[in-house]
A and B are shown apart, each in its own frame.
Chain A
Amino acid sequence: NAGVTQTPKFQVLKTGQSMTLQCAQDMNHNSMYWYRQDPGMGLRLIYYSASEGTTDKGEVPNGYNVSRLNKREFSLRLESAAPSQTSVYFCASSEISGGPSSGANVLTFGAGSRLTVL
């Protein structure tokens, strides 16, 4: 019953360094998401993958890239980290049932990855 697993939980980077946040889910969900959480701003969507093989930009995609490696895994990459990317990052997944006008797209979240860019 792992659900959504994110690694690493904590990371400190210097400006300009690169890193990849890993996310894996074991619920056979179709959709996966990367959010960032900043104080007073709620969660903002960076990228999402509605199904295996597809990825799309969210609200704040600049400075990030993603890869939907397979149905289970969805990684987030920072190619050249900036202090503005200091945040807590959450991966989530969902099983979209019914059509867009029915059902509830309930998200299951990982525990978060706290990233500090100096």
Chain B
Amino acid sequence: GQQVMQIPQYQHVQEGEDFTTYCNSSTTLSNIQWYKQRPGGHPVFLIQLVKSGEVKKQKRLTFQFGEAKKNSSLHITATQTTDVGTYFCAGRGGNTPLVFGKGTRLSVIA
């Protein structure tokens, strides 16, 4: 079945450093979504990308969808302690539920 791989599993950064997490699918995706889960909380939707090569920005967060619609990335510029949490990508190939990656847990050292 469809698989969504996400790397790295963990990332520790100093506050102010940049952070990137990558998501790769074994099949072409119709869309990709990103979610953030704060420690002790539940996943919260951040954004959805649909078009090949699409780039979207939310303040310090930049999301990209690959040209082949098989990979995506989330980049955070100048991390802050409020960015701490686990970031999940999720994608779908057809008329099936989203498949979630295992997530990247981000720790920010002040």
Tell me if chain B binds chain A.
Answer: no
